Chains A and B, each alone.
Chain A
């Protein structure tokens, strides 16, 4: 029985230790405003280099689940979301906290988050193997369109204008082009430098974009934190259960929306929370209370962002196509650990894969006691001086980049990526499309050229295969429909 073997893998003391450590780390990083879940994972990746596949990946998915919840805490108490995923309802919970209802906001949020997370994990466990079975019949034509869809969605779903999203994406694609081309092995943009033949390595670029850039930003203008609103942990669960019971359908709906939005390439937890919040408002009997501080808005949205993590892991493991920047990193680690994502991994290493899935499920359940702890200790977490934290982050970045690549060149790549990330964010260019471009570019190129070589230069086969044709139609519609719509509106 695969499930028992997987559980046995998880029950090793070392694995459990790594999972617990990652849970605590995820809660702390998620709770600090400005530190995203992606950054938390990026900093952890070099350390996973020295771990076995199961503890490494179980730790990362645990960390992701925890960081997404922990982002809610500063959202309520400081009005600064800890991670972008909590931005949709940060004001909502802050308004409640101002009225002295911080306990209710965070208590309901914690339970709804755990529920959403479990829902997403179950979707992953049951939907992924089913999809994998279907996708065994996917050839390079289908993968080409999946990669295209991912690129288009990366622009459409970014929290910025499509133009800025597209520029970010093309920067990512360009970074991905440096080195040996994935098909013929010819050198590109290497300028005869042997270090560049290997390309700009993914992990150092990632650490630079998401972590070093944050340190630069702090160095450029250190931000003072506003006063933390009071919270009494003793009454955290009073009256919370009646709210959750009352809101069970909106929470379930939010979880559903979250796992589906998460599974769409390019859209991640932050988008899922915005959409779920908007839907909850649309169907709520207490529409007017939204925006003034109501759990009716918080619960469905916070369930959605946690469900999105599980949803995003579906295309990541089945196709190797990332749903968001967080899963782009997880795909990188899967490759690093020899678990090449794709339908065959379900045939070849089911035990490892299910161990990771089950770890994710368990993480979402233990989120309740751990999350409670994080709320209690929040004041202490924030008492760490930011300057010291940033210095430690920078140090961890440098050590991490070197540890992964074993070249000093990687450190320079990381620093350059940090400058790039700083510049992009200062000018409101989204970072997620950059990472998606780096991951999807080589997939797109190799599947396109392999497909053309197979069809001997004919483009017909990109549409004549039924699944490829449907995916192609969806991709082209995603590009054309908004353009046509805008054109129609202008006509009127």
Chain B
């Protein structure tokens, strides 16, 4: 009896020393490097609910969207790797080359990727371009004549997707005018007003303006058409490029997480993502599902880090 009490007391005093067999014995924090109400937050909360059901302890979402995600991602990176702080992460390879924060793929223990939303190539509804090929050829002929909105900062998922495509098309990226601003919604409205020629963004974000007949999306950068927007062709249908570019989200932990805990989390994630009700829930909210297990996710983050940093350097950001 006495020994049990001592053991319990010791365990309570040393939460950091919890071993995989006991995990989780108290609530787990999911750091979300985005404000409440956005897409990252919505998917994280959906995950948290299902993780709680799997493990029987609360998974608490903590939003830290300050500084375009820098604060939240830093919290994940520097947290204790005891399995009680995990995080949702998204395209982060651009922060380091742009001098915003020192985040590298090697700073995290990958668990799994659960989401991917392809970029859309949006132009004004009355634009003379009717296919992605028209647009890219025109930009290639006179790269300085067109302005492309980055939505937020030019290192974000959407502008990087557009820049990667243009680079593959042989467009001189150093001549292209990529213009930073505040948010894709504002940039889309500005494009309708004649301020920009192209705004890359997720297709649902441009959905209301597409339905209102003010914006058309020339291509979606995914492997297949979106169920909600079946009229928008994919890149590979129109060009001989087979690129999937856009925004992704996955679950990571601080580097050095016990392999057994990571394994348990990855297994739970696999169960959740393959669950049909979860897929329906994601589709209903307009989020694409993409599964990458721990190994594939690690490879993906590493290769993306290389390609994004090359693009950022070419763009001269």
Q: Does A138 contact B (CB under 8 A)?
A: yes
Q: Give bound CA distance, A454 to B214, whole Å.
A: 21
**Neighbour of A446 across the interface among B66, B71, B181, B317, CB < 8 A:** B181
Q: Give bound CA distance, A140 to B190, whole Å.
A: 7
Q: Are B36 and A347 in contact (CB under 8 A)?
A: no
Q: Does A158 contact B (CB under 8 A)?
A: no
**Neighbour of A139 across the interface among B35, B144, B193, CB < 8 A:** B193
Q: Are B193 and A137 in contact (CB under 8 A)?
A: yes
Q: Are A453 and B193 in contact (CB under 8 A)?
A: no
| A7-61 interface (Cβ within 8 A of B) | 49, 53
Most chain B CB within 10 A, of A139, A185, A344, A454, is at A185
**Neighbour of A344 across the interface among B67, B154, B188, CB < 8 A:** B188
Q: Are B155 and A185 in contact (CB under 8 A)?
A: yes
The proximity string for B residues 192-233 relative to A, scoring 1 for CB distances below 8 Å and 0 otherwise, is 111110000000000011001010000000000000000000
Q: Which of B11-19, B98-106, B135-143, B279-287 lies at the binding interface? A: B98-106
A194 in contact with B70 given A336-B36, A344-B208, A454-B147 (CB within 8 Å): yes
The proximity string for B residues 35-73 relative to A, scoring 1 for CB distances below 8 Å and 0 otherwise, is 111100000000000000000000000111111101100
Q: Are B194 and A139 in contact (CB under 8 A)?
A: yes
Q: Give bound CA distance, A474 to B209, whole Å.
A: 31
Q: Are B195 and A140 in contact (CB under 8 A)?
A: yes
Q: Give bound CA distance, A343 to B190, whole Å.
A: 10
Q: Which of A196-204, A216-224, A302-310 lies at the binding interface? A: A196-204
Residue of B nearest to A136 (CB): B192
Q: Does B183 contact A (CB under 8 A)?
A: yes
Residue of A nearest to B64 (CB): A406
Residue of A nearest to B95 (CB): A185
Q: Are B182 and A136 in contact (CB under 8 A)?
A: no
Q: Which of A175-183, A225-233, A261-269, A481-489 lies at the binding interface? A: A175-183
Q: Are B66 and A199 in contact (CB under 8 A)?
A: yes
Q: Are A136 and B183 in contact (CB under 8 A)?
A: no
Q: Give bound CA distance, A406 to B71, whole Å.
A: 11
Q: Are A198 and B67 in contact (CB under 8 A)?
A: yes
Q: Give bound CA distance, A183 to B149, whole Å.
A: 11
| A340-372 interface (Cβ within 8 A of B) | 340, 342-344, 347-348
Q: Does A242 contact B (CB under 8 A)?
A: no
**Neighbour of A342 across the interface among B70, B98, B154, B186, CB < 8 A:** B186
| B161-208 interface (Cβ within 8 A of A) | 177, 179-183, 185-186, 188-190, 192-196, 208
Q: Give bound CA distance, A142 to B177, whole Å.
A: 21
Q: Does A379 contact B (CB under 8 A)?
A: no
Q: Are A198 and B35 in contact (CB under 8 A)?
A: no
**Neighbour of A180 across the interface among B36, B68, B147, B194, CB < 8 A:** B68
User: How extensive is the interface on chain B, given as a class?
Assistant: 35 or more
Q: Give bound CA distance, A139 to B62, whole Å.
A: 36
Q: Are B180 and A197 in contact (CB under 8 A)?
A: no
Q: Are B189 and A183 in contact (CB under 8 A)?
A: no
Q: Does B270 contact A (CB under 8 A)?
A: no
**Neighbour of A406 across the interface among B63, B179, B185, CB < 8 A:** B63
Q: How many residues of A contact B (CB 8 A)?
A: 43
What secondary structure prevails in chain B residues at the interface with A? loop
Closest Cβ of chain A to B65, distance in Å, is 8
Most chain B CB within 10 A, of A179, A194, A443, is at A194
Q: Are A198 and B188 in contact (CB under 8 A)?
A: no
Residue of A nearest to B31 (CB): A406
Q: Which chain A positions have C-beta within 8 A of B177? A: 453-454, 456
Q: Are B185 and A340 in contact (CB under 8 A)?
A: yes
Residue of A nearest to B156 (CB): A185
Residue of A nearest to B317 (CB): A184
Q: Which chain A positions have C-beta within 8 A of B196? A: 454
Q: Give bound CA distance, A180 to B212, whole Å.
A: 34
Q: Does A161 contact B (CB under 8 A)?
A: no
Q: Are B147 and A198 in contact (CB under 8 A)?
A: no
Q: Does A338 contact B (CB under 8 A)?
A: yes
Q: Are A185 and B153 in contact (CB under 8 A)?
A: yes
Q: Are A140 and B62 in contact (CB under 8 A)?
A: no
Residue of A nearest to B29 (CB): A406
| A153-190 interface (Cβ within 8 A of B) | 179-180, 182-187
Q: Give bound CA distance, A57 to B70, whole Å.
A: 29
Q: Give bound CA distance, A187 to B98, whole Å.
A: 10
Q: Are A138 and B37 in contact (CB under 8 A)?
A: no
Q: Does B236 contact A (CB under 8 A)?
A: no
Q: Are A183 and B181 in contact (CB under 8 A)?
A: yes
Q: Give bound CA distance, A53 to B36, whole Å.
A: 11
Q: Which chain A positions have C-beta within 8 A of B188? A: 344
Q: Give bound CA distance, A405 to B67, whole Å.
A: 12
Q: Give bound CA distance, A344 to B144, whole Å.
A: 28
**Neighbour of B185 across the interface among A141, A182, A342, A450, CB < 8 A:** A342
Q: Which chain B positions have C-beta within 8 A of A197? A: 66-67, 70-71, 74, 100-101
A180 in contact with B189 given A140-B181, A185-B68, A453-B179 (CB within 8 Å): no
Q: Give bound CA distance, A53 to B185, whole Å.
A: 18
* 3 residue pairs, one from A and one from B, having the closest CB atoms: A198-B66, A139-B195, A198-B67
Q: List 16 A-B contacts (CB under 8 A).
A: A183-B181, A185-B180, A187-B100, A197-B100, A198-B67, A342-B189, A343-B189, A344-B209, A407-B71, A446-B182, A450-B181, A453-B177, A453-B179, A454-B147, A454-B177, A454-B179
